[in-house]
Amino acid sequence: MKQFEIPAFYRSPIISKVKARRKLDDPRKQDFSPTRLQFSKVEFIIARHFGFCYGVENAIEKSYKAIQDNPEKRIYLLSQMIHNPDVNEDLLAQGIKFLQTPAGEQLIPFSELTSNDIVIIPAFGTTVTIAEEIRATGANIDSYNTTCPFVEKVWNRSQKLGETDHTIIIHGKYDHEETRATFSHSNQTAPSLVIKNMIEAEFLGEIMNGKKSTAEFYTYFEGKYSPGFSPELHLNKIGVVNQTTMLASETQEITDYLRSVLIQKYGETEIKSHMADTRDTLCYATNDNQSSTYALSETAPDLAIVVGGYNSSNTTHLVEIMEKTIPTFFVKGADELVSINLVRSFNIHDKTIEEREFLPSNKGLKIAITSGASCPDAIVDRVMMRILELLQEPCTIEEAMERATF
């Protein structure tokens, strides 16, 4: 696995040691059981996999390399590099400017770009149209393109499916940068449709089996299908791909459901002619992080803390997994841990910050810890250190590491 050169302040004294030990003991990543870090007053139960993935580290490395290599040039990011406020704020502090918001709202007109400028494409990628518009200005968008290779893998798979006359069903959030980019690329070669969840998949299934009308399709999926999309023509041979940060289990559930609809319509013996096997498009990091979070939830902790940016899709799905069975706090960093009795936690359902009671008074407190793929390990470290500070923990990090269970 490639070792990336990223700024030292993204590294951490605690988590880096934990991850190094786990990598040594389990190089093939077959053990998803968490690490247990035992202090006197608290035990941290740390997920096996979390934090920066390959695509994020690649994006950060290329972004800082662009800064180092081009001190005299103007450098722009198309939009947020990744969905983490600390990473984006540091890049802004380095002099980089954003051209757009994550929603696609223009901050700086592309017309202001020149052939001497550099534009960094974020890890999510971008649409075909936007790439063409920026290239037309003469700005360099190729030298530091940080599009995640696993996102590009989805694009390539979509192209091949289109070449074999499959319609592309994209499991994703239509307004997310990555899904907008994937939709833009897939509809170059294939009819394409974005569905967000099982509710929308089931509606689509009723279109496919004739229980709902074509008119209902166009109304329900308005703005989510490619030009010229015909339910009668384009739902008889499909392949499902996904926004790489969605719940992998939900993507599989949607795929299995749509497969069952097609089997009902055409029969088991004909299914290969009507549905492609697209399991190879699921992102390994998403799978590993989510599998590790399921394993974390089975340890029966007193509470869970998920660290990451509030607009991070993959982090939100980790919260969804944990909060089903455990009191879960979603924080962007240590500053949200106000006191031993109070934490500012993000509510993923109504998109608000809630002030909630925090640490219970019971002895032998067990706290599950994980973070999103765009969250630096150093931020997780600071969250843990803040908890130790609030508890007035007498045990040192070194002592806890000595008796850690990996």
**Token match 């289109």: residue?**
162
Q: Which of 57, 61, 177, 178 is catalytic?
A: 178
Distance CA 57, CA 393 (A): 33
Per DSSP bridges, beta strands 365-371 and 42-46 are parallel
How many of the other CB atoms lie within 10 Å of CB of 18? 21
How much of the chain is in helix, strand and coil states, percent to nearest 5? 45, 15, 40
178 is catalytic: yes
| Helices 54-69 and 149-163, packing angle to 10 deg | 110
Residue 336: partners with Cβ closer than 8 Å, 6 or more residues away: 343, 344, 345
**Token match 């497969």: residue?**
259
Residue 396: partners with Cβ closer than 8 Å, 6 or more residues away: none
Compute the Cα dihedral for 222, 226, 229, 233 and give only its sign. Answer: negative
Distance CA 313, CA 309 (A): 9
- By C-alpha distance, which of 284, 261, 152, 252 is closest to 204? 261
Strands (E), 65-209: 75-77, 97-98, 118-120, 167-171, 192-195
Strands laid side by side in the 118-120 sheet: 97-98, 75-77, 118-120
Distance CA 237, CA 208 (A): 11
Residues 65-77 as b/e (b if ≥16 CB within 10 A, e otherwise) read ebbeebeeebbbb
Distance CA 152, CA 163 (A): 17
How many of the other CB atoms lie within 10 Å of CB of 40? 16
Name the residue type at position 149.
P
* DSSP class per residue in 97-136: EESB-TT--BSS-GGG--TT-EEE--TT---HHHHHHHHH
**Number of helical (H) and strand (E) elements in the chain, helices listed first:** 14, 14
Query: Which residues participate in catalysis according to the annotation?
Result: 178
